[in-house]
Structure 1
């Protein structure tokens, strides 16, 4: 069903590695491709066409004034997870994925490290793969070390045909 996808090719190339090594390899590779993600130290714990799990450590460069993960860092980890799960379903060279909107509601103070779990349904995956242009609301659950959700988010991604060089 799916055309060639560079992200999927990279992920598939790491399947035989031990989990800890795979996470380090994917996080380094994707951090170089998206410099802001690398600077923030986002880790890719799981990358599949259905689900992407990203984490960010509560470390000083990512903290706010009360020593929790900064609101913008939480937005970044959610944007990263949702963007990568969407990108995993796009044929390379044909479509470009872009964030259309992000809505975040901060409900409480986050404790410790942050995890973002982004998922797509099979129907959403088929829509992305087969429609030349469109948009999708990607489900993303953000949790902290206590297992609570300090933030509710909604991420809408669009894809458009890539312009061909003349």
Structure 2
């Protein structure tokens, strides 16, 4: 996990390392690999990820596949949470995901998610009072013509590793 945070930090200032980060994540998360999601920007404040309009991401009527769009949102949100909170410090598990589809995607789409140090401080304050917190984030997805394709509401359980119980 420390390697992931190191790679993300390098990608914030280097287009080459951003390219490397994308390739590493395609291999590390083989389920996402066929989608060819591309992190186009990652900072301490935000992440932007593109889902290309390629055959693998299309449904039977040549629109972007609903499950691919849901995966895109979960990926962007989880990546930025790990970027800001630190994957070595927190266990982050998706509790539920709700999608609202607005418009059929017929081109590349982008999801932009903002989560920064102020948000992380709020999570830390809540974790002082509880073993785990649940946070819901909304992520809109837009196509290249700026049409709203869908909105995701992703609910995460965030817990410090020392509070994780793996056995009953």
Normalised to the residue count of structure 2, the TM-score between the two structures is 0.82
Match of 2:152 in 1: 153
More helix by share: 2
Match of 2:7 in 1: 10
Q: How many corresponding residue pairs?
A: 161
Cα RMSD of the aligned pairs, angstroms, is 2.4
Match runs of 1:67-106 below 5 Å: 67-106=62-101
Match of 2:134 in 1: 135
Unaligned runs of 5+ in 1: none
8 Å CA contact 1:5, 1:88 repeated in 2: no
Unaligned runs of 5+ in 2: none
2: CA distance, partners of 1:133 / 1:31: 30
8 Å CA contact 1:133, 1:159 repeated in 2: yes
Deviation digits for residues 104-158 of structure 1, max 9, x if unmatched?
1111211201111111254422133552521222231200121111112211111
Match runs of 1:121-132 below 5 Å: 121-129=116-124, 131=127
